Amino acid sequence: MARALIKVPPKAKRGEVIEIKTLISHIMETGFRRDNVGKPIPRNIITQFTCTYNGEEVFRADLHPAIAANPFISFFTVATESGTIAFEWTGDNGFQETGSAKISVE
Partner 1 sequence: MSIAMDPDRTGATRRELLLAGAAGIGAMLIRIAPAAASPATMQRAIRQVVGEAPIRKGKVTLDVPALVENGNSVALTIEVDSPMTAKDHVKAIHVFNEKNPLPDVISAHFGPRAGRAKMTTRFRLADTQTITAIAEMSDGTFWSASADVIVTLQACLENLD
List contacts with partner 1 (CB under 8 A): 17-18, 30, 32-35, 38, 53, 56-69, 71-78, 80
Which of 35, 19, 68 shows the shortest CA–CA distance to 6? 19
| 1 or 66: CB nearest partner 1 | 66
**Residue 33 or residue 102: which is nearer to partner 1 going by CB?**
33
Task: Measure the CA–CA gap between 35 and 87, rounded to whole angstroms.
Answer: 33
Exposed / middle / buried, residue 19 (Cβ in 10 Å: 0-12, 13-18, 19+):
exposed
| 60: number of Cβ within 10 Å | 12
In angstroms, give the least distance from the CB of 96 to partner 1: 19
| Secondary structure class of 6 (helix, strand, coil) | strand
Name the minimum Å distance from CB 7 to partner 1. 12
CA distance 29 to 82: 38
Q: Which residue, 59 or 95, has its beta carbon nearer to partner 1?
A: 59
- Cβ distance to partner 1 smaller for residue 8 or 73: 73
**Least spacing, CB of residue 1 vs partner 1, in Å:** 22
As measured in angstroms, the least distance from the Cβ of 31 to partner 1 is 8
